[in-house]
Amino acid sequence: MMSDFMQETRSTCPLCGSAQATVAGRLDRHRRPLTTLLCLSCGLYRSDPLPSPEQLRAFYEKQYRLEYKGVAKPKAHHVLRAARAARDRLNWLLPHLPDTGPWLDAGAGSGEFAFLMQRHGLDVLALEPNQGYAAYIRDDLGIPVRQGFIEDLPTSSGPFAGISCFHVLEHHPDPVQALSRFRTLLAPAGLLAVEVPNSGFAHIHPRNRFHPAHLVHFNPANLELAAHAAGFVTIECRASRDGGIVWGVFRPGPAHTVHPLPGAAGLLAAQERGRSVARYYVSPRVWGRTMIRVARLGFERCRTIAFTSSRDYLSQLPLR
């Protein structure tokens, strides 16, 4: 279990180094013990204590997909859902994308975005730590893949014209280190595309906020802060239309010293005090999102009836 590999040492904020924090949660979404702290200096949430790199490697190589999705390879409805998300990401990035060149999809999951980027004309390498999902990308989608972590890629693998890391940074105990590693693999004018859950999103059940595999939690302000600390400049960094995730596009630039964001942290701390199950259930937006999810699930189940293969589905998926 994820909670079994937490160390017994206390952590400081992996972004700004501050030890000033308030407790935002004591349990994970499965009601297992998990302490989550909110840094009062930069507004980054973090699990406390943080796991070691060795523990993370052992977990993500074999256990993560089984614990998170209950499968060793994606099912048809997983592919349908991920394919639509991949198409949305491709359309979001189109104004910034190069026409050709090598592209690294780091933390590629089941490979749908890597496949669509290859359709777009880029020379894609997928990087996926989970053994089963890496095999699926290679065998079912035919995408070049390396099974491992960003730290495993030699610098000679680059330079890449672009790197995507969607829902990756929240799994890393040292996000600035991860971003710095991406920078060493990018061409001087390369593009880094990041997507993470938005820690400031208000319309989520208070008991479902903290997953044990999510070690840090970003908002737009401190994601941009982390990118600047790793030597990137911002092209755009914003919350999605529904506010649930943060999108960021960055290019290499000078590194900056991390500075406090006490105003942002104060707003988040006030938001923590205002969260409640009652407020969640009386929110019209919550019920609207629930109906959309139910409709989407029904659509996915119906489409799986005619589902033949992941590769065929992704090859025929309209990109607009």
What is the full per-residue pLDDT of the chain (320 aa) written as tens digits? Answer: 343 333 333 579 999 999 989 899 999 988 899 999 999 999 999 999 888 888 888 888 888 887 777 777 888 888 888 999 999 999 999 999 988 899 999 999 999 999 999 999 999 999 999 999 999 999 999 999 999 999 899 888 889 999 999 999 999 999 999 999 999 999 999 999 999 999 988 878 778 889 888 999 999 999 999 999 999 999 999 999 888 999 999 999 988 888 878 777 777 777 777 777 777 677 777 666 667 666 666 666 666 676 778 899 899 888 87
* Topology of domain 66-259+278-316, CATH: Rossmann fold (3.40.50)
Determine the straight-line distance between the first and last CA of the chain, rounded to whole angstroms.
40
How far apart, in whole angstroms, are the C-alpha atoms of residue 122 and residue 211? 34
Contact 233, 251 (CB under 8 A): yes
Contact 124, 143 (CB under 8 A): yes
How far apart, in whole angstroms, are the C-alpha atoms of residue 203 and residue 283? 8
> Structural domain boundaries of the chain?
66-259+278-316
